[in-house]
């Protein structure tokens, strides 16, 4: 599943390319979207804003209608100039939205729906989301209708997971929105916290440090090229000048810890059997 930073960057690119533009063509492989387009005329509407909320993308259209998509594991949004060849096969296209200057294609998007303003306010999955760790990291368009990050609420929701492991709690989007498997391992390494420690065993100070580091790391990874001197692509947490040293522990099982030299460990956890990476020396339990 994409991390919150990649969804944020996708929404930012879509917002830059589409906001203020009139829709000249709309197609979809989803019958429900097609029925709405037939009944409510998507062509002719203006894209008001595109915003990320956790791992959801919300494309707000004029007339009080929003296209809501969730990428799951394999979905992605691409942008092209009109007439430009696609980098993915046409059979993977699920949504096409065109303006005079850009074509947005949703490839292999598993979840897509049109929502009225009323639907949006009452949407169960969106209402259940925890505080968004990237709230406030973008422009007004990118945070369209999104509340500011509520650190106290995030701490309260973490505390509700008292018997669970902190690593699992961070992946629950109902606790905090935006963390995926890579940032889970990296943030807990930087906070020097064992990913298998129960939430109940951690102090408010430790949990607060986890949240602060998570916000800092996610924000750093959505910086535009003009905001950072780094030329590295992809997620980067180490701030090392070495282009190969992008991450502290994730994907580095059996390799030496960059901080202490101990051997990085990995273990599958949770219902989805996702790999958790950690340093057994730097991340000891309290």
Active site residues: 2-3, 55
What is the per-residue DSSP string for the chain? ---HHHHHHHHHHHHHHHTTPBP-EEEES-HHHHHHHHHH--TT-BEEEEEEETTEEEEEETTTEEEEEE-TTT-EEEEE-TTPPPSS-GGGEEEEEE-SS-EEEEES--EEEEEEHHHHHH-HHHHH---BTTTTSS-TTTTTTPPPP-HHHHHHHHHTTTTSBHHHHHH-TTTSBS--HHHHHHHHHHTT--TTSBGGGS-HHHHHHHHHHHHHHHHHTT--GGG------S---S--SSTT---SSTT-TTSBPTTT-PBPEEEEETTTTEEEEE-TTTS---
């Amino acid at each position: 599943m994409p991390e919150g930073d990649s969804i944020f960057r996708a929404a930012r690119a879509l917002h830059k390319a589409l906001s203020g533009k009139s829709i000249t063509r709309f197609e979809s492989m989803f019958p429900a979207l097609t029925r709405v387009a037939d009944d409510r005329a998507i062509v002719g509407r203006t894209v008001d804003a595109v915003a990320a909320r956790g791992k959801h993308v919300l494309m707000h259209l004029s007339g009080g209608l929003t296209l809501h998509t969730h990428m799951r594991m394999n979905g992605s949004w691409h942008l092209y100039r009109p007439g430009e060849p696609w980098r993915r096969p046409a059979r993977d296209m699920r949504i096409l939205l065109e303006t005079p200057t850009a074509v947005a294609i949703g490839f292999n998007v598993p979840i897509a729906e049109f929502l009225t303003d009323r639907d949006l306010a009452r949407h169960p999955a969106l209402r259940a989301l925890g505080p968004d760790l990237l709230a406030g990291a973008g422009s007004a368009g990118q945070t369209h209708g999104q509340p500011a990050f509520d650190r106290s609420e995030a701490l309260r929701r973490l505390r509700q997971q008292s018997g669970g492991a902190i690593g699992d709690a961070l992946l629950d989007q109902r606790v905090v929105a935006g963390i995926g498997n890579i940032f889970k391992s990296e943030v807990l390494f930087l906070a020097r916290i064992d990913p298998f420690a129960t939430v109940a065993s951690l102090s408010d100070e430790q949990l607060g440090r986890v949240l602060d580091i998570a916000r800092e790391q996610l924000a750093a990874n959505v910086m535009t090229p003009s905001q950072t001197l780094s030329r590295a692509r992809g997620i980067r947490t180490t701030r090392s000048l070495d282009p190969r040293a992008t991450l502290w522990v994730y994907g580095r099982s059996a390799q030496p810890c960059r901080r202490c030299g101990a051997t990085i460990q990995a273990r599958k956890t949770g219902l989805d059997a996702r790999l958790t990476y950690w340093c057994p020396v730097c991340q000891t339990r309290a």
